[in-house]
Amino acid sequence: MARWWHMSWKRVGTTLLVIFLTPLLLAGAWLLVQIQLMPWKLANSIATDNPGIDMVPVVLPDHSVKTLSGERIEHFGLSIQLPWKEIYRDWASGNSAMISSMNGGIVEIRNPSDSSDSMAAMRRMANTLSTIHAESSGTNFALTTAVMNAKPEQVKWWKTRGENARYATLLLMKSSFEIECHGAIYAIDSGEVRGFQQGNPSVAPYCVKLDLFDAGDHHFQIRIDQYPVRGPVVTQAEVNAMVASLRPMAPK
């Protein structure tokens, strides 16, 4: 019978290594699992806090264009025609311009040079995040398209960490994109102008928000609303005509 002092020190060392390293290996494996699941947990948290974030742009239900007979206005580097002839007030400050009609229709145009512009904020965020390198190196329209098409279901626990980080980041940016006119989101492509439309002018609350990009990739935000809340003030055909009438102003 072997005495205890005759035992192999190599075997003893191996046993001690197993005893002490097993908890470390398990902790490391647990940490890797948590890192892998982090984007998936983030996506689920964003979806819980932002109902409807899985909504993506769809095709406009009406592509007709109505002939407009209203005034053409100019603000912040763009010219656009209105559907109303009788203008009650045309007022502008450093951040936005507000044009109201006698029938209660209101058009707000926001200054794209303002530091609080939503596109500028998204661009700053994209430029600091390596997870969306492809989007950050593209146009403002391409970046907005990627953000607007992000859905929680794109983040899967079994995908690579890089894929999940990209989709989770786009989803996080989408959650910060302000939805002002609730309802469907539509994709717009009108010649040299393209972008997105929030809301349906024929469905309550009869509000439309346009995020448009011209051929030079400049971002314009236009909101069409009414006051007081009574009913529709424009049709989709008139909104389409307004978008088609948008022109960059010639430098003075």
For residue 177, give both structure tokens.
């994109």
CA pair distance 87, 75, nearest whole angstrom = 15
Residue 221: which of 105, 102, 77 has the closest Cα?
77
Reported confidence tier of residue 31, pLDDT bands at 50, 70, 90:
very low
Q: Please say if the pLDDT value at position 93 is more than 70.
A: yes
CA pair distance 79, 82, nearest whole angstrom = 10
CA pair distance 196, 212, nearest whole angstrom = 6
Question: Crossing angle for the helix pair 161-176 and 9-49, nearest 10 degrees?
Answer: 30
Alpha carbon separation from 195 to 57, 93, 147, 170, 185 (Å, rounded): 10, 25, 12, 17, 10
> Over the stretch 114-130, which tens digit does the pLDDT of each residue have?
766 778 778 887 877 77
CA pair distance 17, 19, nearest whole angstrom = 5
pLDDT in the model for residue 46: 80
Cβ atoms 207, 199 nearer than 8 A: yes
Q: Please say if the pLDDT value at position 185 is more than 50.
A: yes
pLDDT in the model for residue 34: 47
String of DSSP letters for 5-65: GGS-HHHHHHHHHHHHHHHHHHHHHHHHHHHHHHHHHHHHHHHHHSTTTT---EE-S----
pLDDT, average across residues 216-229: 87
> What is the arrangement of strands in the sheet containing 87-92, beginning at the earlier edge strand?
58-59, 185-190, 193-198, 208-213, 219-226, 105-110, 96-101, 87-92
Please, which residues bridge with residue 75 across strands?
78
| Residues contacting residue 206 through CB under 8 Å, at least 6 positions apart | 225, 226, 229, 231, 232, 233
For residue 231, give both structure tokens.
């009913």
pLDDT in the model for residue 117: 75
In this prediction the pTM is: 0.80
Q: Please say if the pLDDT value at position 218 is more than 70.
A: yes
